């Protein structure tokens, strides 16, 4: 991080770690293709650089939630298969069809809109029918599946669509043995069998997210959709640590210590004075706050490595800054404060912050704000394309 040491804060993104994680996950689901899920700006890591790195490591598909996220990948020059699944009436269906994006269809309103857009575009849409096998969120209910399948088959006959995939999403894949897992697998198999009996001939059937990729081999089908594990974060601490699965955290979040000062015993710290120095001490100012995505819920609990020791957010995390009690240590202003990273230097993990904020690792990284620059390292394995490490 030397060249960026003067930054207030930075999120270092290790693309070699991401590539290695993709390879580990492909090994876990050896019979299936892998979709790199890069929605929400690559879970806060940067969608385009992460998508490029995932492609380099063999991800056949890229996945996003919104069509605008998918279109942005195309606009950045990413080719190959891209799928997106979170649609609202109005599209943009036609733009997605013209950009060769596979689009998810969960109900009749969406099928009607995609057929009309395909007619306007003068080319068939690639659609993937999504079933609600038990998550109870998006997807077509089993009772409505025959109507959706029949509508899609009719549109295939008129050349308006090609059904490229049948798919669904787990509710509790991160809770091994949860009865919903077997139930969803059973419903999925039945709904796929029904669609195939009606003449649908999908390229891919898919159900697995990261936890299912890691722990439920019978859920791999033709394609696994991995997000969080690709970024080197465990889907759930109960399943294991990233290292247990051979995964390495991709993001390191660090800041430059903004101030070190003496404080007497009994000094209130930060808004509300929820921390009062127990003795004469030194205080360090960490110049990131909830506007940067540092959860205010972790006030009094969030861990930070400063001067070789783990400190704890003292009192409230404010919008732009928070304080740690340095217990008499005097690191220089500008010294590195590491909020989380892979742990090589003993720094806390994303999971530690998730515990401190009573949330999940997904939320910690996804919320890191745009005010924190992403600094990319290890941009490519290809010696002909080495850039010094900042692919854009």
Ligand X SMILES: Cc1ncc(COP(=O)(O)O)c(C=O)c1O
Does the bond joining 97 to the residue before it have cis omega, within 30 degrees of 0? Answer: no
Which SS3 state, helix, strand or coil, does residue 208 take?
strand
Buried b (16+ CB within 10 A) or exposed e, 14-36: bbbbbbbbbebbbebbeebbbbb
Least spacing, CB of residue 16 vs ligand X, in Å: 20
Least spacing, CB of residue 73 vs ligand X, in Å: 16
25, 181, 228, 339: which one contacts ligand X (CB under 6 A)?
228
Q: Does 220 bind ligand X (CB under 6 A)?
A: no
| CB 199 within 8 Å of CB 161 | no
Least spacing, CB of residue 234 vs ligand X, in Å: 10
Binding mask 280-319 for ligand X (x = CB under 6 A): ----------------------------------------
Least spacing, CB of residue 35 vs ligand X, in Å: 8
| CB 18 within 8 Å of CB 44 | no
Q: Is 162 a catalytic residue?
A: no
Of the two residues 164 and 209, which places its CB atom closer to ligand X in the complex? Answer: 209
Number of residues located near ligand X, criterion CB under 6 A: 11
Least spacing, CB of residue 24 vs ligand X, in Å: 13
- First and final C-alpha spacing in the chain: 18
Task: Supply the DSSP string of 315-338, one letter for each residue.
Answer: S---SS-EEEE-TT--PPTT-EEE
319: annotated binding-site residue? yes
Rounded distance, CA 149 to CA 368, Å? Answer: 40
Q: Given the DSSP bridges, would you call strands 161-167 and 303-306 parallel, antiparallel or unpaired?
A: unpaired
46, 107, 235, 342: which one contacts ligand X (CB under 6 A)?
235
By CB under 6 A, the residues from 69 to 128 that bind ligand X are: 85
Stretch touching ligand X by CB under 6 A, among 19-27, 223-231, 242-250, 379-387? 223-231
Q: Is 271 a catalytic residue?
A: yes
1: annotated binding-site residue? no
Please tell me the number of Cα atoms within 13 Å of 347 on its side-chain side.
22
9, 11, 18, 37: which one contacts ligand X (CB under 6 A)?
37
Give the active site residue among 39, 162, 275, 290. Answer: 39
125 Cβ neighbours under 8 A, 6+ residues apart: 93, 96, 97, 103, 114, 115, 117, 118, 160, 161, 162
CA angle at 64 for the pair 380 and 61, rounded to the nearest 5°: 55
Alpha helix ranges (H) inside the chain: 15-28, 39-43, 47-56, 67-75, 93-98, 108-121, 145-157, 179-197, 210-215, 350-356, 361-366
Q: Does 40 bind ligand X (CB under 6 A)?
A: no
Q: Name the residue with the smallest CB distance to ligand X.
A: 227
By CB under 6 A, the residues from 156 to 175 that bind ligand X are: 169
21, 133, 184, 210: which one contacts ligand X (CB under 6 A)?
210
Rounded distance, CA 333 to CA 331, Å? Answer: 7
Stretch touching ligand X by CB under 6 A, among 195-203, 227-235, 243-251, 335-343? 227-235
Q: Which residues are catalytic?
A: 39, 271
Binding-site residue set for substrate? 137, 319
For ligand X, the binding residues (CB under 6 A) are 37, 85, 169, 209-210, 225-229, 235
């Amino acid at each position: 991080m030397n060249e960026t040491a003067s930054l207030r804060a930075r999120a270092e993104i290790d693309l070699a770690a991401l590539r290695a994680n993709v390879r580990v996950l492909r090994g876990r689901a050896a019979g299936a293709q892998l979709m790199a899920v890069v929605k929400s700006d690559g879970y806060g890591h940067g969608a385009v650089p992460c998508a490029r790195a995932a492609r380099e490591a063999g991800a056949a598909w890229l996945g996003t939630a919104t069509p605008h996220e998918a279109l942005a990948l195309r606009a950045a020059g990413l080719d190959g298969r891209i799928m997106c699944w979170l649609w609202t009436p109005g599209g943009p269906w036609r733009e997605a069809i013209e950009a060769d994006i596979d689009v998810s269809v969960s109900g009749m309103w969406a099928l009607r809109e995609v057929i009309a857009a395909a007619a306007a575009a003068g080319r068939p849409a690639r659609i993937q029918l999504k079933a609600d096998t038990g998550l109870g969120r998006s997807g077509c209910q089993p009772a409505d599946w025959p109507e959706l399948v029949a509508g899609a088959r009719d549109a295939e006959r008129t050349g308006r669509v090609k059904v490229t995939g049948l798919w669904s999403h787990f509710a509790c894949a991160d809770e091994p043995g949860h009865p919903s897992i077997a139930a969803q697998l059973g419903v999925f198999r039945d709904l796929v069998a029904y669609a195939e009996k009606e003449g649908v001939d999908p390229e891919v059937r898919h159900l697995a997210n990261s936890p299912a990729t890691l722990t439920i081999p019978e859920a791999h089908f033709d394609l696994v959709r991995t997000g969080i594990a690709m970024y080197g974060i465990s889907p759930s601490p109960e399943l294991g640590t990233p290292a247990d699965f051979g995964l390495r955290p991709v993001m390191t979040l660090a800041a430059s210590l903004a101030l070190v000062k003496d404080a007497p015993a009994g000094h209130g710290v930060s808004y509300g004075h929820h921390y009062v120095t127990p003795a004469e001490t030194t205080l360090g100012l960490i110049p990131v706050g909830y506007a940067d995505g540092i959860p205010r819920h972790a006030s009094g609990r969030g861990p930070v490595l400063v001067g070789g020791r783990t400190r704890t957010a003292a009192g409230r995390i404010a919008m732009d800054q928070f304080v740690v009690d340095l217990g008499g240590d005097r690191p220089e202003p500008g010294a590195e404060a590491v909020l989380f990273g892979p742990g090589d230097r003993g720094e806390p993990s994303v999971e530690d912050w998730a515990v401190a904020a009573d949330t999940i690792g997904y939320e910690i990284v996804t919320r890191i704000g745009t005010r924190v620059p992403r600094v990319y390292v290890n941009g490519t394995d290809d010696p002909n394309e080495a850039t010094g490490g900042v692919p854009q």
